[in-house]
Amino acid sequence: MKHIPRKRFGQHFLTDERVIHAIVNAIDPRPDDVLVEIGPGLGALTKPLLERIPHLHVVELDRDIIARLKKTWPPERLVIHEGDALKFDFGSLGHGIRVCGNLPYNISSPLLFHLKEYAWQISDMTFMLQKEVVDRMVATPSTPAYGRLSVMLQRRFHMEALFDVPPEAFDPPPKVESAIVRMIPKKTGEYAELDEQRFAEIVTAAFSQRRKTLRNTLGKLLGEEAFTAAGIDPGLRAENLAVGDFEKLTRINPRRVTSPPCLSG
């Protein structure tokens, strides 16, 4: 029986064999990998992945799809974690896990922030996302796509946009272009140790009104003396600051005791 894509789950099923082959090659699964696929859908990636590795973890919410997966692969080959990926404890799979998938575009940003909480346990992640989101993830300062998502993720990950995927590679075709991105968590020492919640607070406030200067968006939160201490011109906009600049402002203006990197988000 044909599965009807559900809009509330943001389902667009990948069908182009050339694209599927390219994604699996980008993931490059190895037999000893602890690999987890988010949103396996009808198994476009699941099947070729299981041709290369003995077992695979998947996280799926749709009960009809879960039933299909259970009929197709035995539990010793496919471990199905039934539920919402936004609530799934990826840490339960141990250290050195690899994550992949065609992420539901309607929850992509919240899901990326959720996965950031487990960065210290993840080896790498390879995702298909809306191209606009990938562009924002890898954007550089002083460009239109650079924003809160760019800063928050670039602080904790090395990221690379690999290749684009056209709408016609899906059924049904989405109204947007897609792209593949690789994310590799930074190791301890590759990013500054600081108060993660304070960092997020400063970044969020700075980008809350993009056209306004830092003096207007952060003035009440930090005070003029903070910009002087950090060597940052308060007449700049948030989009002009590099990740390191936001880290400077956070270190100068801590709100609480610094948390160890392995426990931070």
- Give pLDDT tens digits for 46-65: 999 999 999 999 999 999 99
pLDDT at 13: 84
Q: Does the residue 263 lie in any domain?
A: no
Are residues 151 and 240 located together in one domain of the fold?
no
Are residues 136 and 217 located together in one domain of the fold?
no
Q: Does the residue 259 lie in any domain?
A: no
What's the whole-model pTM score? 0.88
Q: Does the residue 1 lie in any domain?
A: no
My answer on whether omega of the bond before 172 falls inside 30° of 0, hence cis, is yes
Are residues 28 and 91 located together in one domain of the fold?
yes
Are residues 69 and 103 located together in one domain of the fold?
yes
Residues 79-101 pLDDT 10s? 999 999 999 999 999 999 999 99
pLDDT at 5: 44
**Which domain does 209 fall in, by range?**
196-254
pLDDT at 223: 87
Are residues 135 and 245 located together in one domain of the fold?
no
| Spatial separation of the C-alpha atoms in residues 17 and 14, rounded to whole Å | 8
pLDDT at 11: 56
Are residues 225 and 100 located together in one domain of the fold?
no
Q: Give the number of domains in the chain.
A: 2
| Cβ pair 170, 41 in contact under 8 A | no
Are residues 58 and 103 located together in one domain of the fold?
yes
- Please list the ranges in the chain whose pLDDT falls under 70: 1-11, 255-265
| Spatial separation of the C-alpha atoms in residues 71 and 220, rounded to whole Å | 58
pLDDT at 255: 65
Are residues 115 and 233 located together in one domain of the fold?
no
Are residues 47 and 132 located together in one domain of the fold?
yes
Are residues 179 and 53 located together in one domain of the fold?
yes
Are residues 23 and 150 located together in one domain of the fold?
yes
pLDDT at 194: 93
